[in-house]
Amino acid sequence: MNRRYRKTIIAGNWKMNKTLSETKAFAEAFKPMLGRPRWCDVVLCVPAVNLQPAIRLFKDSRVSIAAETCHYEPSGAYTGEISAEMLKDIGVKYVIVGHSERRQYYNETDLTVNKKVRAALEAGLKPIVCVGESLEQRELGVTMELIAYQVKCALAGVSAERVRHVVFAYEPIWAIGTGRTATAQEAQEVCETIRAIIRKLYGARVARGVTIQYGGSMNPQNAFELLAQPDVDGGLIGGASLKPDQFMEIIKAADQD
Ligand code: 13P
């Protein structure tokens, strides 16, 4: 983390978990624990059907609500989809773009990621752009090239003014839901690379202001060491964000003086 130049953001990604009543129970347990973090912004990414209730439930708290994906067109004949504008209109603040599960199961490509990033920014949402390599790609030694490609594709056509509103999340696919975390050094190396690419594209001032998270089996035990790395500015947390006490422990690790 480097709190002088950029925000620390701890975001929970609930994926396809929690009914409305479970969302209410989480809010009741979590809000009193949270209080007012000094340094870190807290985000919860929830299933589309629970966005509006979550916005109401967390209205009087420091939690921002995020969507897990959006469509890249503002409106039109796209059955089942939700546009960035619609999300913005109900009070959503962030949207995840290009999560590896969406790349893997729903044909999300670097091209659609780019379109979604631009659509989100156009609508006034902050995209949380996920990038990351598979185990095979890491073993082939192409991680940094792949990350550079994903970051450049995501940002094509995005102005320096707007890139300030983009958050990146480095999520190695082999670490997601597996209990196997990247070492703090591995996470730092890739987050540093992401920042170096942004620096090449937009200059040093812009690059040092961009929040870059790590995601992949982050938990209360490993959060502190990961977040202590200079280019790891937060976390995108799956499993451990479903339990109020575990999520809170990670926030505490990010919020220490
Ligand atoms: P886990 O924390 O469950 O590994 O999930 C990470 C993730 O995919 C967050 O987007």
Q: How do beta strands 126-131 and 167-170 pair?
A: parallel
Alpha-carbon span 235 to 217, nearest angstrom: 10
Rg (CA), the chain: 17
CA–centroid distance, residue 96 to ligand 1 (Å): 12
Q: What pLDDT digit, counting tens, does each position of 99-126 carry?
A: 999 999 999 999 999 999 999 999 999 9
State residue 16's pLDDT score.
Answer: 98
Q: Calculate the alpha carbon distances from 159 to 111, 121, 149, 230, 255 in Å.
A: 17, 10, 18, 25, 31
In ligand 1, the atom with minimum distance to the C-alpha of 130 is: 10
Q: What is the structure's pLDDT at 208?
A: 97
- The overall average pLDDT reported for the chain is 97
**φ/ψ (deg, to 5) at 41:** -85, 140
DSSP β-bridge partners for residue 43: 11, 64
CA of 14 to the centre of ligand 1 (A): 9
Q: Report residue 180's pLDDT band, with 50, 70 and 90 as the boundaries.
A: confident
The answer to whether the CB of 25 falls within 8 A of the CB of 58 is no
When pLDDT is averaged across residues 47-61 and rounded to a whole number, the result is 97
Does pTM surpass 0.75?
Answer: yes
Active site residue 165: no
Give yes or no: 99 in active site: yes
217 CA to middle of ligand 1, Å?
A: 6
Q: Please tell me which residue in 68, 85, 133, 171 is annotated as part of the active site.
A: 171
Residue 156 CB coordination number (10 Å)? 14
Q: Whose Cα sits closest to atom 5 in ligand 1? A: 238
Residue 77 clears pLDDT 90, i.e. is over it: yes
pLDDT in tens, 2-34: 989 999 999 999 999 999 999 999 999 999 999
Query: Pocket around ligand 1: residues whose beta carbon is below 6 Å from it?
Result: 13, 99, 171, 176-177, 215-218, 236-240
